[in-house]
Structure 1
Amino acid sequence: MPPKKKTPQAAARAALPTADEAISFLVEQGQQPMADAVTALADYTRSSGYDAHPVSGTTVSLYGPSELFDRARKASTAGLNTDVIKGFQQFLDGKWKPKQPATRATEGEKITTSVRAPEALVAEVKAAATEFATTRDWDMRRGYALTAQHVALQWLEHLYPAPKAKKTTAGRKPAAE
């Protein structure tokens, strides 16, 4: 039987050390535009949320704000799969509790991204989420019920919160002393 073919993501990760050598070589040869192109591709591969240790299992589709996924991919050192699995474990261990899902404003771009987690873990989180929500008398209608996807999204929001808006004093009068 022929060896298993690498996925494009795995091949890109495996090529990173060679890409770094190529960048140095191109800079030494005075080929800065080519070095910049290889640097951009290497940086993208490093920041795309590809895990150093890919997870086999089931795919969990997450629909949420693109800026959340951008923040998470840039800040995560372990990758989104690992982050979500950790969140699932924190939830199951009672070390972190999600909030009641609510309809959200449709501000900003929403996208779907996928993560992978062990199938048994996802099933356990689904069951625990239903029990967690039911004991709190949360709305269990479609779109409002706490699901594994909600748990994953809220965990990512917990790990990578949006930056707080700075308060401006423009147009205000200074306080009287």
Structure 2
Amino acid sequence: MAINSKKSLLDSKRKLVAKYDPKSPISEQYRTIRTNILFSSVDEEIRSIMVTSSGPGEGKSTTTANLAVVFAQQGKTVLLVDADLRKPTVHYTFKLTNTLGLTSVLTNQKDLMEAVNKTDENNLYVLSSGPIPPNPSELLGSKAMQLFLEQALEEFDLIIFD
């Protein structure tokens, strides 16, 4: 058991390099990405970011988690949302349960702030996916999703979707 626990901690530290090794060259690259995102919008402040890819295992969850950390380190209140309703992983990275989350909010089972988890990183909050629904695409494209986004933008400076 101790070996699995140690491996899990090591995996988390490896995935959250911006948190656990902020002076590393990799962490600096995440800060460079943050700066480029901030400078990419001249007229309007960027309030939400979505990271996606064409297939699994390409690093989108690692990227979103580390971007969330570097934005939070800058002082922005950040909500990291695990919107991967087929194979969610954000709860593993932050050692959270996945019994409530985005699907709980979208189906009106929980209020947004009841489902959000505060992390040990200042200004960083996580909304796991919640129970996996039978209709992920319909749920993400629903009016409830639009309402969720509007409410989340009132509560947080930045929302990052995995």
TM score, norm. by length of structure 2: 0.25
Larger radius of gyration: 1
Bigger relative contact order, structure 1 or 2 (CA pairs below 8 A, ≥6 apart): 2
For normalisation by structure 1, the TM-score amounts to 0.24
